[in-house]
Amino acid sequence: MSETFSLQLCKKYGPVCTIWLANKPVVILSGYQTIKDALVLQGEEFNGRAQYPFLVKATNGYGVMVSSGHRWRELRRFSIMTLKNFGMGRRSVEERVQEEARSLVKAFNEYEGGLFNPRELLCNAVANVICSIMFGQRFEYKDPDFLLLYNAVTDVFIVLNSPIGQLYNLFPGILDRLPGKHRDMFALLQDTQAYVKREADTRIKHLDVNSTPQDYIEAFMIKMIQEKDVPNSEFHYDNLLGSVWNLFSAGTETTSSTLRQMILMMIKHPHIQEIDEVIGPDGSPSMDDRSKMPYTDAVINEVQCNMDLTPTSVPHKVTVDTEFKNYHNPKDTMVPLLSSVLSDHKLWRNPGNFDPENFLDEEGRFKKNDAFLAFGLGKRNCLGEGLARMELFLFTSSLLQRFTFVGTRPPEEIDTTPKCCSFGWLPRVYDCYTKLRV
Ligand code: HEM
């Protein structure tokens, strides 16, 4: 469903409108107040996850992102708590991102003066941060285990956006019987799950339930042991493998695409490359610097608004028969949520245009906007938001500290409009040069 099509429908029929896919109703919600009423006031009913055949097949319905009800609540609570604990642990998430930012700067440095496409380097860095949290270590980019995980995310994404991937979501029964790239993709996912299972098995040998877990897998294994006698516990291998893959896939393409669009915007608008004079040439950017760098923060938020990565969010479903704004929605109805609020003329200064001032007050201080829904809203919002924001800030400020980015054409000729794919809006493919700043 392209955003233009759904937006046109909502403009014509209002903020709650139904379309039929095959014989199933799909209820599209748009507008800030409508989305807020559904996700916050009636969150219990609207917080189910719509079942995409591809996602169901990939994880058999296990894992935090694809599940609903009791399973989702348990896995979500655990995942949020674990990420939070790592934030406060001995080796904090911030240190892991900073370490990866240094490796990213080094990798960009190797291209100094030469033309290159930043896609792979950015994706490597972002995937490696998740590796560090999941497996307790970062990998060299050529490590076969890293390549297995990396390919599982990037190849799956490519297939999902291809005609065969889209057809799979419509006719899974038929496609399961036909050869094609979708089959290679499921085989690749099985290899990844086998790798995660091996990692879990190596941990079980020396696991001490009373010690502080060093990574997500270890924390999950401890929970499995603690709940081994709890009937219907959600802490078992299937949910571990599903959740690791969910976090990995949800966190990689999203954050790296945003960083890619960020660099493109910097090339188009060179003045935004003037990083605030806070860190200086030698310091290592940290999250403490963020409040002192409102302009950088505003640019990052505006890039997210402007690109509108997931225009229909990750579609929800209603968990029970639900009355909403005088409409009856039968249980399991799919509910995409249109982020058209990101371009609403009533909520933004200059919608459709790139304008960091949207996030600054008269004194130049960072100013939040409630209509910023890039990470969703309510109890099912992005559970990696804190990590994503940290990565966006630390990677952006570390790169800007060292480099100026230049494109292959004059800024006024560069088209920054993202391209539509089945998943959302992605940056255009581009090459760039870096010039050393210091
Ligand atoms: C710029 C980066 C990112 C953007 C724009 C983004 C956006 C989103 C959106 C729109 C949703 C759907 C919310 C809903 O269902 O209403 C979501 C869900 C999710 N995101 Fe992110 N995300 C980003 C980065 C990350 C990262 C780094 C992680 C990993 C830690 C992550 C993990 C997840 C998970 C696990 C869910 C499912 C939550 C649930 O079903 O309860 N995301 N994200």
The topology under which CATH files domain 3-436 is: Cytochrome p450 (1.10.630)
Predicted confidence (pLDDT) at residue 136 exceeds the cutoff of 70 = yes
Query: Is residue 48 within a helix (H) or strand (E), and if so which, with residue range?
Result: strand 48-49
Which of 33-42, 75-84, 416-425 comes out lowest in average pLDDT? Answer: 416-425
d(CA 60, CA 58): 6
382 annotated as belonging to a binding site for a ligand: yes
Distance 285 CA to ligand 1 centre (A): 24
Rg of the chain over Cα atoms, rounded to whole angstroms, equals 22
Beta bridge partners of 404: 435
Region of poorest pLDDT, from 194-198, 300-304, 306-310, 382-386:
306-310
**Rounded Cα gap, residues 34 and 371, in angstroms:** 12
Token reading at 391: 């990565």
81: Cα within 13 Å, side-chain hemisphere: 10
What pLDDT shows up at residue 369? Answer: 87
Which of 61-70, 75-84, 171-180 is predicted with the least confidence, judged by mean pLDDT?
A: 171-180
Alpha carbon nearest to ligand 1 atom 6, residue: 375
Report the DSSP beta bridge partners of residue 21. 24
Q: What gap in Å lies between CA 161 and CA 222, rounded to an integer? A: 37
Nearest-angstrom CA–CA distance, 204 and 181? 35
Task: State in Å: Cα 19 to ligand 1 middle.
Answer: 26
User: How many Cα atoms are found within 13 Å in the side-chain-facing hemisphere of 260?
Assistant: 28
Q: Give the separation between CA 371 and CA 355, rounded to whole angstroms.
A: 15
Dihedral angle computed from the Cα positions of residues 33, 39, 45 and 48, in that order, rounded to the nearest 10 degrees: 140
Ligand 1 midpoint to CA 283 (Å) = 30
Q: Which amino acid is at 102?
A: R
Nearest-angstrom CA–CA distance, 53 and 31: 28
List the domain boundaries for the chain.
3-436
Res. 3 pLDDT band, cuts 50 70 90:
very low
d(CA 313, CA 222): 33
With CA atoms as reference, report the closest residue to 30 among 378, 370, 334, 339: 339
3 state DSSP class of 98: helix
Residues 7-17: tens digit of each pLDDT: 677 777 788 98
3-state secondary structure of 24: strand
Contact between residue 171 and residue 186 where contact means Cβ atoms under 8 Å apart: no
The one-letter code for the residue type at 267 is I
> Is 151 in contact with 180 (CB distance < 8 Å)?
no
Q: Which residue has the higher pLDDT, 381 or 274?
A: 381
Closest atom, ligand 1, to C-alpha of 316: 15
Strands of 209-256 (E only): list them. none
Atom 39 in ligand 1: which residue has the minimum CA distance?
A: 65
Distance 363 CA to ligand 1 centre (A): 32
Could you give the C-alpha distances from 133 to 5, 130, 207, 218, 334, in angstroms and in order?
39, 5, 17, 10, 32
Distances from the Cα of 422 to the Cαs of 184, 233, 309, 401, in angstroms?
A: 20, 35, 11, 35
Summarize the confidence of residues 329-338 as an average pLDDT: 90
Question: What is the CA(174)–ligand 1 centre distance, in A?
Answer: 30
**Which residue's CA lies nearest to atom 1 of ligand 1?**
255
Residues near ligand 1 with C-beta < 6 Å? 49, 64-65, 76, 246-247, 250-251, 254-255, 258, 309-310, 313-314, 316, 374-376, 380-384, 387-388
The pLDDT confidence band at residue 340, using thresholds 50, 70 and 90, is low
| Largest pairwise CA distance in the chain | 65
Distance CA 146, CA 396 (A): 23
